[in-house]
Homo-oligomer: A and B are copies of this chain.
C-alpha cells in the first residue's frame, strides 16, 4: 500500500552538506528554519537533519530571495502550495471511497 519511505524524504543530511548542496550559508539555513520555511528533523540534543526534499525547497527559497521576495511571503506561498496538495490528496481519497462503496466490498 505505502510507497517506501523513499530516499527523497528521509532526513539524513547534515547542515554542512546542505550548505554545499544549496550554496546557502549555515546561518541562512538556520534562519529560514526560524522563519518556518523549512523543517529539519531536530532530535533532542542532536544535530539538524535534512532530506533531499528539504534541499530542493531551500534552492527554491534561494531563488525567491534573489528576486527579493521576503521570507514572510515565501512562507505564505509554501503554505498555499501545501494546502492545495492536501486538498488534492483528500479528493483522491474520497473518490477511492466512492468506488469502494459501490464496487469494492463484495459479500456474496
Chain A residues with a Cβ under 8 A of chain B: 7-8, 10, 12-14, 17, 21, 49, 52
Contact = CB atoms under 8 A, between A and B. Distances in A.
Contacts of A8: 7
Determine how many copies of this chain the complex contains: 2
A3 to B, nearest CB: 13
Contacts of A17: 12, 14, 49
Q: Top 9 closest A-B pairs, CB basis?
A: A7-B7, A7-B52, A12-B17, A12-B13, A7-B8, A14-B14, A13-B13, A17-B49, A12-B21
A24 B21 CA distance: 27
A25 to B, nearest CB: 18
A49 B8 CA distance: 17
Contacts of A52: 7, 10
